[in-house]
Amino acid sequence: MTDPDHDIEQALAALRPLAPGLAVTARLACELDAPASRRGAIIAWSAGLASAAAALVAAFIFLGGVVESEAPHYQLVRVEQSRPDVQFFRPVQMDDGSFARPVRVRWQDTTRWEDARSNTRLINYRPNDQLTLLPLETN
């Protein structure tokens, strides 16, 4: 054949690995057999420690008896809404040729909740800011 890789492929196909020497097999056998005795001890210690940890966790859960406090019962105390701050801006011309005036309105909502048993308060503060366009009629 005229293929230059043909000779290389035939040479590689003819290669056969040699059997490992006696020193290699003896060393592998020694390495594979030695940890077996240690492996049993490690498994035994791991099982013992795991069972002790499980016993401690079970004792903590069942004998600890941590009583959870009741959830708070909030009652609405006050609702406030500030006076709106209104700002008018210069009229702008829209794409269709009409005019509109931008107006911004800002205000704040505050809601206060209390739990009399635990003397806790929850205050919900919400600032609001809205911008809108008011159409202007020109005759």
* pLDDT, position 75: 92
Q: Considering the entire predicted model, what is its pTM?
A: 0.42
Q: What is the pLDDT of residues 16-58, one digit of tens each?
A: 888 888 888 888 887 777 555 666 677 777 888 888 888 888 8
Residues in a beta bridge with 110? 80, 125
Domain boundaries, the chain: 1-67, 75-136
Locate 104 and state its tokens.
């911004």
Reported in sequence order, the residue ranges of the chain that DSSP labels E, i.e. its strands, are 75-81, 85-88, 92-93, 99-115, 120-136
Q: Collect all residues with Cβ–Cβ distance below 8 Å to 17 and sequence separation of at least 6.
A: none
Q: What is the pLDDT of residues 67-117, one digit of tens each?
A: 667 778 889 999 999 999 999 999 999 999 889 999 999 999 999 999 988
* Residue 10 backbone phi and psi in degrees, to 5: -70, -35
The 3-state DSSP class for residue 43 equals helix
